[in-house]
């Protein structure tokens, strides 16, 4: 049974549980059994965890870590929340980026095991295997070495537990990381690891067609300057932005595809929507409004209110995504120039 954040929120309110305003607002898609965990509908810890897990797959790492921390405040022996926290630490420093806070990640790892040992937590074979697999990602000082070992460990995990779509999705992401490295090392637009990422993620999508992480990573896997490959991401781009409506990065991701195929008006439209979503979510996270009031204002009114009251907070709140968005805007102008030159030349021929 798949559970959306919104349906769980209504259930939590009926049962008297409470969430933060931004948690009540978010609509981040759904997942079957995140990290292999069957969601307990009456547990606030599980509710926080599910929100964190879905934030993770839309690269909203700070929100994910906030949600995982709240889940662990409710139940510090919640194994999947610890795994999510570790994935968040690794992802924020390594996934599709080129730097790594290895000390911070190792500290989180040691804290996790201290809690497990002090509380006499008994891990299932799957939980232990997943934890040990994640460890490989940051056990090595050299990022490339860690990625290679993590890939092999994740392959072993998915072969041992073949029905787990979550691990398969993570496997696709690992292939995508390596593909980005291979693009430069092999001087190939579509290196072997990128083709493998698409293959793995498309298999997951056949089983979970609305999995937000799978859709997200498939867009990245097709994001190359080759129209024939980029057009493959069109259905993923449409689905992802419709399923994950309240994450700025999700609303922006489709622009990667639109830029590659020359659909400039769509790219501009989605970037504007991304800024809108970012401001609304930041209003809620900065405790300026509740989830009901925020929707009663126009975007301009929200922006004016936020600038007047929390201008500095806005910059900090969603800095990574808004900064990335505007860098893509600048890239869009350059990309458009070369795209028009290339296709104009081909048409003349």
* Domain locations in the chain as residue ranges: 3-221, 248-349
Predicted confidence (pLDDT) at residue 89 exceeds the cutoff of 60: yes
Rg of the chain on CA atoms, in Å: 20
pLDDT in tens, 112-154: 999 999 999 999 999 999 999 999 988 888 888 888 999 999 9
- To 5 degrees, how large is the angle CA 68–CA 96–CA 196? 105
Residue 297 near residue 305 (C-beta atoms within 8 A) = yes
CATH of region 3-221: 1.25.40
Give the model's pLDDT for residue 15: 46
Residues 288, 290, 292, 293, CA torsion sign: negative
pLDDT band at 61 (very low <50, low <70, confident <90, very high): confident
Choice among 15-24, 187-196, 212-221, 256-265 with the minimum mean pLDDT:
15-24
- 195 vs 331, which has greater pLDDT? 195
DSSP string, 161-201: STT-HHHHHHHHHHHHHHHHHHHHHTT-SS-HHHHHHHHHH
CB of 52 closer than 8 Å to CB of 61: no
What pLDDT, on a 0 to 100 scale, did the predictor assign at position 334? 47
Q: Name residues whose C-beta falls within 8 Å of residue 18's C-beta, 6 or more positions apart in sequence.
A: 12, 44
Please report the pLDDT score of residue 287 as a whole number: 65
pLDDT-derived band at 24, boundaries 50, 70, 90: confident
Summarize the confidence of residues 160-165 as an average pLDDT: 88
């Amino acid at each position: 049974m798949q559970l959306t954040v919104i349906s769980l929120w209504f259930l939590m309110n009926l049962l008297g549980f409470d969430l933060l305003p931004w948690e009540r607002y978010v609509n981040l898609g759904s997942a079957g059994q995140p990290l292999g965990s069957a969601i307990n509908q009456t547990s606030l810890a599980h509710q926080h965890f599910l929100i964190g897990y879905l934030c993770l797959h839309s690269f909203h790492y700070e929100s994910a870590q906030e949600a995982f921390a709240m889940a662990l405040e409710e139940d510090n022996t919640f194994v999947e929340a610890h795994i999510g926290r570790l994935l968040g630490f690794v992802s924020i420093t390594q996934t599709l980026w080129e730097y790594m806070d290895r000390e911070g990640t190792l500290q989180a790892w040691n804290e996790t095991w201290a809690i497990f040992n002090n509380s006499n937590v008994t891990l299932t074979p799957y939980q232990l295997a997943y934890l040990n697999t994640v460890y490989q990602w940051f056990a090595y000082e050299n990022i490339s070495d860690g990625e290679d070992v993590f890939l092999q460990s994740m392959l072993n995990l998915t072969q041992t537990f073949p029905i787990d779509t979550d691990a398969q999705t993570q496997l696709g992401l690992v292939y995508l990381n390596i593909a980005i490295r291979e693009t430069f090392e092999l001087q190939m637009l579509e290196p072997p690891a990128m083709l493998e990422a698409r293959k793995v993620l498309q298999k997951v999508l056949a089983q979970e067609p609305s999995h937000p992480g799978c859709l997200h990573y498939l867009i990245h896997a097709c994001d190359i300057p080759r129209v024939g490959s980029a057009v493959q991401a069109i259905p993923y781009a449409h689905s992802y932005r419709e399923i994950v409506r309240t994450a700025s990065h999700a609303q922006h991701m489709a622009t990667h595809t639109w830029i590659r195929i020359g659909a400039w008006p769509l790219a501009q439209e989605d970037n504007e929507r991304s800024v809108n979503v970012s401001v609304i979510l930041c209003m809620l996270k900065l405790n300026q409004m509740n989830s009901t009031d925020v929707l009663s204002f126009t975007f301009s009114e929200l922006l004016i209110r936020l600038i007047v009251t929390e201008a500095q907070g806005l910059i900090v709140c969603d800095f990574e995504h808004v900064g990335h968005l505007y860098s893509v805007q600048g890239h869009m102008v350059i990309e458009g120039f070369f795209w028009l030159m290339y296709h104009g030349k081909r048409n003349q021929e």
